[in-house]
Structure 1
Amino acid sequence: MDILRFATAGSVDDGKSTLIGRLLFDSKAIFEDQLEAVERTSRDRGTEYTDLSLLTDGLRAEREQGITIDVAYRYFATPKRKFIIADTPGHIQYTRNMVTGASTADLAIILIDARKGVLEQSRRHAFLTTLLRVPHLVLAVNKMDLVDYSETRFDEIREEFTAFASKLNASDLTFIPISALHGDNVVSRSENMPWYEGSSLLHHLEHVHIASDRNLVDVRFPVQYVIRPHSATSQELHDYRGYAGQVAGGVLKPGDEVLHLPSGLTTTIAAIDTFDGPVEEAFAPMSVTLRLADDIDISRGDMICRPNNQPHAAQEIDAMVSWMADGVKLQPRSKLIIKHTTRTARALVRDLHYRLDVNTLHRDESATALGLNEIGRVSLRTTQPLFVDDYARNRLTGGFILIDEATNGTVGAGMIVDAH
């Protein structure tokens, strides 16, 4: 069974947490004591119905305010697929949390209140999901019960959002009318909307094709750890040398010729080991240990790739950066630590080209700094080469985080646009 990671986004009170609660409830993915606790809390708050949003809004401040603040991760499975949900916040001041939740998602669900239509926050989250290259986008028009399940209202919202999405790089866009509160078109098809001929939301999640979204062409294997069991008793284990890491792209097989960066030396793969034993091939996002035919000086942060298909070895990179620090701004001459795959280096912000208005998509070229939750294009120079691809080609080798040297806190997330 494969795993689908999806994120929910949308404006405040559009029903993201209720939708996830409905998915968990209708797919029998919650325990009886959890349901009893939610029912008890709902009664204490004077709610006439069981408030399923309480299944995901775990922070006390979230329950008191009725909003999502943190990124809440939930897990459930059906006979066809396993799911990891990232319930991301709707408020503008938590844009950084939304970026965090969507950065690893295969699919994003953007909720829209059928009464309010496409709001500024809806456009912002749609832009962010396409900026983060989330391959599949579902626009769930929620609260259809409050507009009498009107087909006309659904068509109006679909046309408005389609016009906006034409400006974005949205490759796969699906529209589904739902009522998260009553369960219409969430797990089962709704009898209240006979005019809708598409599938329910869960059916779409179970069958959306994600295998081809991963880059299986460009072999990328960032080395995370060198395994050398010096204390082994047997001679075979004593001579063992393996390179552990997560496959970031392509397909690796024993006998394949590979190249090591930064040395440029070539060798072949002798074997591929996993926790469950040797395998005949490895592909993203598998975590494996490679054994090579020749002894090469390889350490953490190095890259294994194909001789005729190499990433850029770059110290000058242009990237879109989402700034996540409160109290300190990103500006030219800022010195930071950059963490890219398994390699860490120091970086200098050479230039800030523009700040992006995610509501209008306008580029403010007069901007001198990026503040909390702001996004802009910057040029960075690193102290050592990074082995990178464009983010559009590979999200794993095209993404990075920025770390404050003084506090060791993550202050930014970046997507590489160009490297030289």
Structure 2
Amino acid sequence: MDILRFATAGSVDDGKSTLIGRLLYDSKAIFEDQLEAVERTSRDRGTGYTDLALLTDGLRAEREQGITIDVAYRYFATPRRKFIIADTPGHIQYTRNMVTGASTADLAIILVDARKGLLEQSRRHAFLASLLRVPHLVLAVNKMDLVDYSEERFEEIREEFAGFATKLNITDLTFIPISALHGDNVVSRSENMPWYQGTSLLHHLEHVHIASDRNLVDVRFPVQYVIRPHSATDRELHDYRGYAGQVAGGVLKPGDEVLHLPSGLTTTITGIDTFDGPVEEAFPPMSVTLRFADDLDISRGDMICRPHNQPHVAQEIDAMVCWMADGLRLQPRSRLLMKHTTRTVKALVRDVQYRLDINTLHRNDATSLGLNEIGRVTFRTTQPLFVDPYARNRLTGGFILIDEATNGTVGAGMIVDCH
């Protein structure tokens, strides 16, 4: 079974946590003691119903305020597929959490309150999903029960959002009317909306095609670790030399000719090993160990690719950066560590070109970036990086920025161009 990673986003009180609670509850993915705890808390609050939002709002601060402030990850499975949910916060001051939760997602669900319609935050979340190149987007119009399951209201919101989406880079957009509180169109089709001809949300999540979203053309294998079992007594094991890592792009098979960067030397794959034994091919996002015909000087941070399909070797990089540090600004001459795939290098901020207004999509002149702000930045690195544009490969096109003094993550970047 494959795994679908999806993120939920929306404005405060749009019902994200309730929707996830409903998915977990109706798909029977919660334990009895969890349900008992939720029912007990619901009774203590006097809500009059089982508040399924409590399944995901696990932080006490969130329960007291009634808002989601952190990224809460939940896992469940159906007979067709496994799921990882990132429940991301809606407030503008938690943009960094939204970026964190959606950066690895295959699909994003943006919730809209049917009574309020599209808000600034709905547009902002859609923009962030398109900036992060989330391949599939679902606009779930929630609380349809509070507008008497009105087809006209659903169509109004659908048309307005479809018009806005034309400005964004969204490849697959689906609209589903739901009521998370009552379960309409969440796991099963709703009898209250006979005018809706589409599938339920869970059915869409189970059947959305994600295999073709990954880049299977450009072979990219960042080396994470060199495996040499020196202490082995078995002669065959003693001579073993493998290069472990996660396939970031393309398909690798024994017999393939590959190129090593930075040396530029070529060799042939003699075998591909996994924890469960040898395999005949490797593709994203598999973690494997490659064996080669020649003993090349390969170390962590190096890249394996095809001789005639290489990533850019660059030291000057233009990127869209989401700044995540509180009390520290990103500005020219800032010195940071840049972690790109398995290679970490020192980087200097050459220029902050502009800051993006994520509500209007306008570019504003800026000399620095503050907490939760997104802008285009030029970096110069001390060593070459093997990169692709983020639009082509999210793994070799993305990086994080680390503060050398505290070793804390202070930013996330998506490569636009390189020199």
The TM-score range, normalised by the shorter chain, is: over 0.9
Kindly tell me the number of residue pairs found equivalent between the two proteins: 419
Counterpart of 2:354 in structure 1 is 354
Counterpart of 2:77 in structure 1 is 77
% same residue: 89
The DSSP-based 3-state class of the residue aligned with 1:252 is coil
Counterpart of 2:308 in structure 1 is 308
Counterpart of 1:104 in structure 2 is 104
The equivalences for 1:17-416 within 5 A come to 17-365=17-365, 367-416=366-415
C-alpha distance after superposition, 1:105-147 (max 9, x if no partner): 0000000000000000000000000000000000000000000
* 1:410 maps to amino acid: T
| Cα drift, residue 419 of structure 1 | 1.0
Partner Cα distance (1:70, 1:89) in 2: 6
The DSSP-based 3-state class of the residue aligned with 2:384 is strand
The DSSP-based 3-state class of the residue aligned with 1:255 is coil
Partner Cα distance (2:52, 2:101) in 1: 21
The DSSP-based 3-state class of the residue aligned with 1:353 is strand
Partner Cα distance (2:123, 2:369) in 1: 21
Partner Cα distance (1:184, 1:234) in 2: 61
| Cα drift, residue 340 of structure 1 | 0.0
Partner Cα distance (1:405, 1:274) in 2: 35
* 2:101 maps to amino acid: G
Partner Cα distance (2:246, 2:356) in 1: 33
Task: Please report the TM-score for the alignment, with normalisation by the length of structure 2.
Answer: 1.00
* 1:227 maps to amino acid: I
- The alignment status of 1:15 with 2:15, answered yes or no, reads yes
C-alpha distance after superposition, 1:196-219 (max 9, x if no partner): 000000000000000000000000
* 1:139 maps to amino acid: L
* 1:97 maps to amino acid: N
Partner Cα distance (1:49, 1:97) in 2: 30
Partner Cα distance (1:336, 1:227) in 2: 30
- Please, what is the CA RMSD of the aligned residues? 0.4
Structure 1 residue runs of 5 or longer lacking an equivalent are none
Partner Cα distance (1:240, 1:175) in 2: 53
Partner Cα distance (2:301, 2:44) in 1: 53
| Cα drift, residue 238 of structure 1 | 0.5
Partner Cα distance (2:167, 2:28) in 1: 39
Partner Cα distance (2:360, 2:69) in 1: 25
Partner Cα distance (2:361, 2:29) in 1: 40
The DSSP-based 3-state class of the residue aligned with 2:417 is strand
Q: Which runs of 4+ in 1 moved over 2 A?
A: none
C-alpha distance after superposition, 1:335-370 (max 9, x if no partner): 0000000000000000011000000000012x1110
Partner Cα distance (2:296, 2:174) in 1: 49
C-alpha distance after superposition, 1:264-311 (max 9, x if no partner): 000000100000000000000000000000000000000000000000
Structure 2 residue runs of 5 or longer lacking an equivalent are none
Partner Cα distance (1:46, 1:93) in 2: 31
Partner Cα distance (1:46, 1:406) in 2: 48
Task: Please report the TM-score for the alignment, with normalisation by the length of structure 1.
Answer: 0.99
Partner Cα distance (2:163, 2:236) in 1: 63
Partner Cα distance (1:134, 1:165) in 2: 13
Partner Cα distance (1:329, 1:199) in 2: 46
* 2:387 maps to amino acid: V
